[in-house]
Amino acid sequence: MDFYLPVPVMDVFNYVASQKEIYKMKLAAVDRANFKVFFKHRANMLTWGEHITISFYDPQDGGCRIIVESKPAMATTLIDYGKNAENCNSVRQFILSSFHQPLNGQVR
């Protein structure tokens, strides 16, 4: 999932990197050199867990382009029951609401 936020990239990156948990997704690592934040979601009855990667890019207009990816923790997972899409939407909703942006913002 790819979306744009009219807030400086460092503000958004530092805010997300400071979060220990987002909707039951726990912070796994922060890559400050490449502006990436990694979260993980624990296993449950339907999945073996997921790895969430949030990448931040500066489009040179003072805003922030954010790409959210969610993948199953087990590479052999064939069906995710919509859990990865749900993770991406949850992260997007968290970031937009944290910066007081409408949830129907610019999604690509």
34-86 pLDDT, tens per residue? 999 999 999 888 788 999 999 999 988 889 999 999 999 998 888 888 899 99
Give the residue-averaged pLDDT of 22-41.
96
Alpha carbon distance 70, 91 (integer Å): 10
Location of structure tokens 């503000």:
11
- Report the domain count for the chain: 1
Would you state the pLDDT for residue 104?
A: 59
Residue 76 lies in a domain: yes
Is 105 part of a structural domain of the chain? no
Give the DSSP letter string of 14-77. Answer: HHHHT-SEETTEEEEEEETTTTEEEEEE---SS-S-EEEEEEEE--SSSSEEEEEEEEESSTT-
Is residue 42 included in any domain, yes or no? yes
Span 17-32, mean pLDDT? 96
We report the CATH number of the domain holding residue 50 as 3.30.310.80
